[in-house]
Amino acid sequence: MLYGIPSPAQAAYGTIPGRYLFLPIAMLGIGFFAYLIVVRLVPLSRAQSDPRHGEVGARLSAVVKYWLAQWKQPRYPLAGILHILIFFGFLALAIRSTSLVIMGILADVHLLAWMKQVAQAYTIVTCYAATLVFVATAVAAVRRLFFHPARYTVPERYGKGHGGEALIVLGLIATLMVSEGLFEASGTVTGAMVHAPTESLPTLTLAWMFQRMLQGAAMEDLRTINLVAYFVHDVTFFAFLCFLPMGKHFHVVTSLFNVYFAKLNRGTIKPVNWGLAADQLDQVKSVGVKKFEDFTWKHMLDFYSCADCGRCSDNCPANAVGRPLSPRFITIKARDYGFRSHPIFGAASNGQPLMGNVFEDDELWSCTTCGACEEECPLLIEYIDKIVDLRRGMVDDGNVPKSLQKPLKALESRGNPYGKMEKKRADWVKEKEFQSAYDVRELEPVGDAKALFFVDSITSYDDRMQSIGRATARVLTDAGEKFGILGAEERDSGHEVRRFGEETLFQILREHNTEAIRESGATRIVTADPHAYNSLKHDYTDVPPVEHISELVAREVKAGKIKFKPVGNPNDVYAYHDPCYLGRHNQVYDEPRAVLDAIPGLKRVEMGRSRDRSFCCGGGGLMLFYEPKEDQRMGVLRVKMAAEAGANVIVTACPFCMVNIEDAIKVAGREGEMAAIDLVELVDQQMVRDSAATAKV
């Protein structure tokens, strides 16, 4: 729209034309912003390498899905909508903001002027965008001030609240919208006075409101309002721009890059150093992250990109039970350390050990690597790799909690964390009743059995979990699968060994198992242990394809080869608990449910937190040995969730979940009210077997 007053570039500000004010402001603003970006990039340029350039197609898809389409935002509906409005508002206002800056410098340059209809349409878009952004910021501010959503709270140990920063930014954004609206409205009213009467600005927008308020105002006043509004907008714009790299709103700049460079191969842990081959590990002086500089550039970018939204900690099971871990603050503390040690002005300081200064030991050992934080984060910030890297540093320094030293030593000498003898690893097959009907043998390359049942340590040695092993063997046999086991040659998969930072011990276990698997001649692997499943699938590189028993059973049920008899007690209500390493990390959600739903008469309910929001049972592998400081057990909370969903039987598909949940049922005093059963035990129980099918292998 044509205004009736000169553009800010030409207008007189005091005695000087605007351009002599706004060009320096712009140069200062842009220059300082560029300087800030350089300061922020310097630590990244010196950081560890992290190759994220491959698979451009997948990366671009991720950008479209997570950045542009804000895919994860709606997981928190209200905040999600608010953010989506602000995000799209900002995108829509991008050209408008640029042209506003130019208006203060070059009088006759109007972007989009050459396409009048586009320009008009764009004006309508920007007016509504600005208005929606304004409303969203107002709602956001009200939420902050009066409703105090729990996830924004800063626990005392982490310092003062962050509400101030949030409100400042909301204030800046609101100021931008209001000043832009006033500028547009005042300019339009002068335009109507000097040129032809114009239509009103888009109805119910901020600008429209201001236009109505300013109708009939004197030209001088309108000019003043217009120029002041412009000035305020311009200064606020550059203030906001330069404020971005100073705190959580850096994500406005970095989010696109953070999503583009996000980790694509879930399930596995990064190598110790990307430039270092696995067998060169002994040759480096130090392993793991001990100082800030030891992080990779992408991890530092993660720290910058945190929006402090608290969704990660809100879903963190360790946080929920009062362990000293809050993922949000891992990132915020690291970010703040990065800011402090690489200040805007002044020399960078570095080399301070992170442990004991920024992080506490237990903060990092408390993590079960369940992945809920990563699943939730709208910016795809990675946590597990960082925690593992920090653990690697602690292990390298010998700083391992006493409770973990014993199982680690046992894994080293006996290949299992219990310290039990290797030669007894396959004793679970010798249970009298089982052995009389089922013959489970070690795989021979010359035989025709080609499937390997990878049992792993807990199922091999724990009295209770051995029944999962036997149930799996029975199900496999009666489904007609020809399989064998590794027997005494099998070692712990090493899944948690790796995730607890003992990379060398993990490599030793992996090497041994890989060799044994190769010698067995197996062409496929099946396991009932999601940790073994995840490790064989993602951490091991030279082994045949692996599937979880639930996937196999679901397939056989669909093909009609496995049939079930009706459930024993039709009044029982079953709830399926998604194990972290089957569900969230590997997206196997439907197959176990399909199996349950195939059992006639089985009533199944979903817990509030299910599928990718499943709540960790407490962790597996080495986590069972760790003694955390916590207010209660994760398993107890999970049992409560099952009860709240109306269930009296929890079905799980992981031996560690079984340990934790059965334990929790006792601790919660719900024995007799709540039962737990493993999926394969239930399948074993309900499977229809005709006499011909129960043959010795």
Partner 1 sequence: MGGIFAYILHKGGVVDDTATELIAAAKAFDNAASPTAVAVGTGAGLDAVCTALCSSYAEVWKIANDALAYPNAELIRKALLEVLPQDAILLLPHEHFGVDLAPGLSIKMNSPYVSDATGIEGVAGTTLRATRQEFGGQVSAHVQCDISNGAVISVRAGAFKSVEGLAANGTIVDKSSAVGALSAGRRYLETIAAETGDVDITKQSVLVSVGRGIQGADNVDIAQELADALGGAVSCSRPVVDAKWLDKSRQVGTSGQTVKPKVYIACGISGSFQHMAGIKGNPFIVAINKNPKAPIFQLADVGIVDDVLEFLPALIQKVRES
Partner 2 sequence: MEILVCVRRVPDTGENEILLNSTGNDIERDDLVYSINEWDNYAVEEALQIVAKAGGSVTVATVGREDDEEVLRREMAMGANQGVLLTDPAFEGSDGRGLAAILAAFVKKGKYDLVLTGVQAEEGGAQVGGMLAAMLGYPFASLVNSIEVNGNKLKISREIEGGNKEMSEIDLPCVLSIQTGINEPRYVGMRGIRQVASIPIPMLGASDLGVNGGEVGVGAAKVKRTDYFVPTAGKGAEMLQGSRDENITKVIDLLKAKGGMK
Q: Which does 403 bind (CB under 5 to 8 A by kind): partner 2, partner 1, none?
A: partner 1
Establish if 93 lies at the interface with partner 2 (CB under 8 A). Answer: no
Among 81, 168, 400, 667, binds partner 2 (CB under 8 A): 400
Q: Which does 405 bind (CB under 5 to 8 A by kind): partner 2, partner 1, none?
A: partner 2
Contacts of partner 2 in 266-285 (CB under 8 A):
281-282
Among 402, 432, 559, 691, binds partner 1 (CB under 8 A): 402
Q: What is the C-alpha to C-alpha distance for residues 18 and 533, in angstroms, rounded to an integer? A: 67
Q: Which does 65 bind (CB under 5 to 8 A by kind): partner 1, partner 2, none?
A: none
Among 408, 426, 471, 657, binds partner 2 (CB under 8 A): 408
Q: Residue 201 carries which DSSP code?
A: P
Q: Which does 349 bind (CB under 5 to 8 A by kind): partner 1, partner 2, none?
A: none
Closest Cα to residue 238, out of 184, 175, 301, 163? 175
Establish if 413 lies at the interface with partner 1 (CB under 8 A). Answer: no
Q: Give the nearest distance from C-beta 627 to partner 1 in angstroms.
A: 6
Contacts of partner 1 in 620-639 (CB under 8 A):
627, 633
Among 350, 403, 405, 413, binds partner 1 (CB under 8 A): 403
Q: Which is nearer to partner 1, 202 or 401 (CB)?
A: 401
Establish if 504 lies at the interface with partner 2 (CB under 8 A). Answer: yes
Closest Cα to residue 535, out of 523, 548, 522? 548
Q: Which does 666 bind (CB under 5 to 8 A by kind): partner 1, partner 2, none?
A: partner 1
Q: Give the nearest distance from C-beta 276 to partner 1 in angstroms.
A: 36
Q: What is the C-alpha to C-alpha distance for residues 36 and 58, in angstroms, rounded to an integer? A: 31
Q: How far apart are the first and last CA of the chain?
A: 84
Q: Give the nearest distance from C-beta 548 to partner 2 in angstroms.
A: 29
CA distances from 506 to 48, 366, 499 (A): 22, 20, 9
Binding mask 464-483 for partner 2 (x = CB under 8 A): --------------------
Q: Which does 419 bind (CB under 5 to 8 A by kind): partner 1, partner 2, none?
A: partner 2
Q: Which does 412 bind (CB under 5 to 8 A by kind): partner 2, partner 1, none?
A: partner 2
Per-residue HEC secondary structure of 115-181 comes to CHHHHHHHHHHHHHHHHHHHHHHHHHHHHHHHHCCHHHCCCHHHCCCCHHHHHHHHHHHHHHHHHHH
Contacts 24+ apart (CB under 8 A), 412-421: 412/505, 412/508, 415/457, 415/490, 415/491, 415/492, 415/509, 415/512, 416/457, 416/460, 416/461, 416/491, 416/492, 417/457, 417/492, 417/621, 417/622, 417/625, 418/457, 418/461, 418/462, 420/461
Q: Give the nearest distance from C-beta 397 to partner 1 in angstroms.
A: 21
CA distances from 217 to 4, 12, 203 (A): 13, 20, 20
Helix (H) or strand (E) holding 692: none
Among 666, 673, 688, 695, binds partner 1 (CB under 8 A): 666
Q: Which is nearer to partner 1, 599 or 674 (CB)?
A: 674
Establish if 432 lies at the interface with partner 1 (CB under 8 A). Answer: no
DSSP assignment of 537-584: III-SSS--EEEHHHHHHHHHHTTSS-BPPPS-TT-EEEE---TTTTT
CA distances from 121 to 202, 255, 471, 591 (A): 10, 28, 67, 49
Q: Give the nearest distance from C-beta 412 to partner 2 in angstroms.
A: 6
Q: Give the nearest distance from C-beta 458 to partner 2 in angstroms.
A: 17
Among 10, 352, 399, 632, binds partner 2 (CB under 8 A): 399
Place of tokens 């079960």: 368
Q: Which residues are near partner 1 by CB under 8 A?
A: 402-403, 627, 633, 666
Q: Which residues are near partner 2 by CB under 8 A?
A: 281-282, 287, 395-400, 402, 404-406, 408-410, 412-414, 419-421, 423, 502-505, 508
